[in-house]
Structure formats: C-alpha cells, structure tokens
A and B are shown apart, each in its own frame.
Chain A
C-alpha cells in the first residue's frame, strides 16, 4: 500500500491505517448486508416494505439507529453465568470475522496482508467462531442456550469439512493458495483461447461453488441450517441471554462473517476484484467496486435461500454433511485433479 499513495509512509502508520480499515469495514459490511438483504430484500419477498421512515429515504438509517440503541442498553448478565467466559464469547466470534477480512484483496495493490497461504489462513481462522459460540452457550446458565450451543458445536464442526474440501478444487486448478494470485489467474487465463471474460473458476468448479455456498450457509447458522438459533424453538439459541452491545457483537459477527464469506466466494470463484483487460491503477480504482458487486450477488443467493427454506433438523443436517457433501467434495477434487493433468 505504500506505493499506492506514492508517499513514504512508515511501517507503523501503514499498520495503523490497515487496522482502521479492517475495523471500519466489518461493521460497514455488516450494516450494508443487514440493511439490503435482511431488512429490504426479506421484506419484499414477504410482500411488505420494511423500514421506510428512519432517515427519510427507505429507512436507510434503521440499522444505525439500532446500533446506537444497543449501545445504550443496560448490560445484564445472568446471575449464575460465568462472567469472564460470558463476556469473552462475543469478542471471539467477532475476532474471527476481523481476521478473515485481513486476507481478502480489493485490488492488485489494495490488500491488507498478502499471505502465500491465504486460503488456508482464511478457512482456519474462520473456524475460531465455533469456540465463541460454545462459550456463549455454556456460560449463559440457560438450558435453551446450552441446547443451542451444543447444536452449534456439532453443526459448525461438521460443515468445516465440506467448506475446506470445496475450496481445494479451486486451489488445485489455480495452482496457488495466495488469494491475489488466484484472482490474477482468473483474469488472465482464457477459455479455449478466448479471453473475453477471463476464466472465473465457477465455470469448472460449479460443484465446488454449490458446496461452498451450502457450507457457508451452515457456518453462518442461517436457515436451512439454523438449528442453533432456531427462532421458534430456542428463541436465539446460544445468544438468548445476550443484550445490549454484546448482542450487537454477535449481530455484527453474523453479518460481517456473511460479508467475509461472500468476499471469499467472490474472490475464489467469481474473479474477485478482476475485470479482464483492466490492469494497473485502473484496477485499483475499479477493483473495490467490482468486488463489492460480486459480493452482493453472492450474498443475494445466500439470503434468498435463507428466507425461502425451512430448517433441517440436527440429525438431518449432519446426515447431509457427512453422507452427501463430503463424498461429493472428494469426487470433485478427484475430477479436478484428473482433468487438470489431462488438460
């Protein structure tokens, strides 16, 4: 980033700027996703309008107002809750979101960290939230929270595997785990000699994309996999005893992670910030916009499925993961490997 601004900024200032960018991006992403999809798209799918008054224009201010409301609420902790674990749990969930954002590039030179094991890092770090959820479920001293936490532990761990295996196909095909290089690969490669749209990996990795979307849905505990947070049974599951800013953390964690995973999916399968033919500074300017558009598209698919389907029962979703998704993912990797060598 230092050469982007053509200024000689020191190491410390760069770190500070990057930290601020990530810290600001996560709530912003959560806010945008929450407003567009949770408030507006869900409402229109249900034949209603959603918030219209706050802020005047179609209620854009609603979530900001909600955030301020959460911040000024009383901090209630159940009497028998484990105080330190109770307080730490939301922080860990949000922490994993921040860490995933670190590695997603928004342009050839706009990136916070350029890791050679970017994909590996992103998937590893995203599974930190499981600990946070378990901590929340246990420390709440509430049977409903406990049920939700246990369900979450089983579900999140089970769906880590399809998530990882779906991405292996992309890594095999692109030949690298560095996210920026994967994007460049998709921009520069050609489909049978035609370089018009580059080579977004979704074309050959459509099974991987489908698996990734399903596994992401489960990792975010969204319907049809929202057993841990089954609204009509457990009334928010592991989050049930959280109020005020702690609940805000969970909320930001949920939608921030949705943004992060959509970002990952857009980067790995749709080409990230790349527009074929655009390089250099133009790509730096266009990159974030293109990435944002692709993220919104992926998020649209995710939230569309969220609002349509009922939820699977715990044993049914475990069966889906272990008996269906993992074998399909393994077959996908096998096929990718064979075809990669053949072609």
Chain B
C-alpha cells in the first residue's frame, strides 16, 4: 500500500508581527468612535461548546479578548473522590469526549504505577492501537470542522463521514463508539473480535485516502491559505510559557512529543514513526501538522496490528483492587495536547484526590495574547486552529 508523502510546503514570507501593533494604534483621531464589546458565545457555532469570549472591537479589529470558561464545569475532581477506579474510568471518558480512550490511559497508567504492576504486552499494544484510533477520529473531525469555520461547508461532512469508519472499529472492540470504557487496572477488558484486524487495515486505507481528499480540498485551496497563513502566530517561546502543548506547539517548530520524549507509558518506541513539526506557527501550520499526524497515526496503526504480540490481556490482579498509598503523576500525549493525572491514593478502592491537567485549559489561556490586533474572522480561524474541547477545559 503506497503512502503519499506530504506535498511541499510552498515558500511563504510569514510576518510574525503582522497586525499586533495595530491593536494599539488609532487610525484617525478625529473619528474616534469608541470600542464595541462583542460577546462571542457561550452559544456560538465557532466556540466548540460553551466558551464565552468577550472581545473589545475597534471596527473589525480586536483590541482585547477575554475568555470566560466554566459553563461546562461538571466537578470531575470532586466526583472521583467518591468512586472506585473502574467507576472513575467510565467517568473520565467524558472529559475529552472526542478522544475518549486517550483520557483513560494516563489514569490507569498512574494506578498501575502505584500498584507497581505492568500490563502484559498484548494489552499495551491494543491500548496503543485504540489510542491512535482515537487520535485519528479526533483529527478527522478537526480537519473537517476547521474548513467549516473558515467558510467551506463541505469538508465538515467528509470529516464526519470518514470518522464513522474509525468509530465502527472502536465499537467492534469495546462496545461503545464514543465512550469505550475499556481500560482496566492491569490491562484491558476484552480481546479483539475475529476479523477486526482485517477491518482495521481497510479502514486505515480509507483514512489515508480521506487525508488526500482534505489535502486537495482544503490545504491546496488558495483561499484557505489566504485565510490561515500568518494568522494567529504563536512563537515557540510564548506558546511554551503559556503551557500550550500538543500539535499547537509542534506547529510552532518545537520538536517535542511525549510519546517519544516523555516517560514511556505505552510501547511507542517499538514503532517506526516520526514527529511532524512546522516552522511557521500560524493557523495553517496547525492544520498541516494535524493532517500529517493523522496520516502518521494511520501508518502506526497498521504497524501495530501487524506486530501485535499474542498472550494474555490482563495481569494478575486481585478481585477487589486496593491501590497502595502513594502519589503518581503521568502525563501523556493526548490528541488535544498534554494531558496529565496526579493521583493521590491512601490505599482504598478509590483514589483520595485526582488532579486533572487538561490540555485545552492551557491552550485556551493563550487567547488573550494571540487575539490582539486580528480581525473578527481571524478570531474564528484561530479558535478553530487551536482545537480545544470544552469538556477538556472545564472538566
């Protein structure tokens, strides 16, 4: 099966200071009309949920922006104080509901680290496969909906259509399309059904074809380029200081991926894959990096299902699991960025305290900085390119 290399990124003179200075200038002192305060959200098609963005506009230019979050706060860190580990696994699926399998992995890994057991290799490989499938599902949605925010209605439907193949795969294994609830302390719940690997390979072929479609329809479109190049440039140092993570930081040129560079939590080092970066740091770069990462994840899944080791899927664990006292911090490369769980256990069947470090919370914190001086349509483009999920921000 051929894999198309990405097309050459054409030369583009990116001006990192474009627009920012205009937030402070006034075009015509005599015509000082005063600023208008516009409330984007909490009900708005572009805010991916209930994010409220209060922007102060001078004409169509943003002078100041202030995100107000919390409309979707569900009290996760309080909920998990009264539940056992299997119950919590079910709940934390819903933090970032698009890549729900990837939310379970760091929590279960933290519990396993406290118990000092390791899941058997087959379980770890299946976990990795499902994590990468979640990543593909999330990114396909992103590739579609960013086209929608920029104005093209059609890519959104292609994103949803092609995501169905991946969701059907996840459903065949775990029973749930969106909320797999599949990780258990010590391994995973069940093994793969017969014929799944063949279905998986077919689905990955479709995913790669779909990425080519997105490249033709969106990335190659000069109007899309005009709308996203030089828009919302996040320099690497600024991004890192705000805590921006994941594809957003890689699009600013930082070669950092927790799957390869962090403390190992899944067998990524046994696969042959590459981390994609882009030097520009604008919205186009973020789209491009996620497109390449989708292709890379599809290739990784093909390697994973080819090299799946045989054996048990569950380590030896007692029936009633009491995790020994201690603290563990695990951070992982989720599709949205870096997600981490700090689990404090006092030896009971449930944790004493869990602190959830969600990727979107830090990604959204850069909005006041990056939105200064841009036009209102660019606000929408930047929101779309940062790709946050409200459940992840508010927990």
Report if B154 contacts A (CB, 8 A). yes
Shortest CB–CB separation between residue B373 and chain A, in angstroms?
A: 14
B36 touches A235 (CB 8 A): no
Give the CA-CA distance A311 to B60 in the complex, in Å.
Answer: 16
Smallest Cβ-Cβ distance to A312: which chain B residue: B223
Report if B23 contacts A (CB, 8 A). no
Give the CA-CA distance A231 to B376 in the complex, in Å.
Answer: 13
A310 touches B46 (CB 8 A): no
A231 touches B221 (CB 8 A): no
B153 touches A223 (CB 8 A): yes
Shortest CB–CB separation between residue A71 and chain B, in angstroms?
A: 27
| A 28-49 to B, binary, CB cutoff 8 A, 1 in contact else 0 | 0000000000000010011110
Q: In the complex, which residues of chain B have a beta carbon less than 8 angstroms from the beta carbon of A45?
A: 154
| A 165-182 to B, binary, CB cutoff 8 A, 1 in contact else 0 | 000000000000000000
| A 120-161 to B, binary, CB cutoff 8 A, 1 in contact else 0 | 000000000000000000000001100100000000000000
Report if B189 contacts A (CB, 8 A). no
Give the CA-CA distance A59 to B226 in the complex, in Å.
Answer: 38
Give the CA-CA distance A316 to B226 in the complex, in Å.
Answer: 8
Q: Which of B60, B150, B157 contacts A310 (CB 8 A)?
A: B150
| A 214-235 to B, binary, CB cutoff 8 A, 1 in contact else 0 | 0000000001101100111101
Report if A58 contacts B (CB, 8 A). no
A309 touches B152 (CB 8 A): yes
Report if A313 contacts B (CB, 8 A). yes
B223 touches A311 (CB 8 A): yes
Knowing A310-B221, A312-B227, the reply to whether A232 touches B154 (Cβ < 8 A) is no
Count of A residues near B, CB < 8 Å? 27
Knowing A48-B157, A224-B223, A232-B45, the reply to whether A310 touches B152 (Cβ < 8 A) is yes
Residues of chain B in range 68-116 having any CB-CB distance to chain A below 8 Å: none
A314 touches B375 (CB 8 A): yes
Q: Which of A48, A144, A147, A232 contacts B151 (CB 8 A)?
A: A232
Q: Name A residues whose Cβ lies closer than 8 Å to a Cβ of B.
A: 42, 45-48, 143-144, 147, 223-224, 226-227, 230-233, 235, 307-316
Sample (20) of A-B pairs whose CB atoms are under 8 Å apart: A42-B153, A47-B158, A48-B157, A143-B38, A144-B38, A223-B151, A223-B152, A224-B223, A227-B377, A309-B221, A310-B147, A310-B151, A310-B221, A310-B223, A311-B151, A311-B223, A311-B227, A311-B377, A313-B227, A314-B377
State the 5 A-B residue pairs at the shortest beta-carbon distance, nearest first.
A311-B151, A46-B157, A310-B151, A310-B152, A310-B150
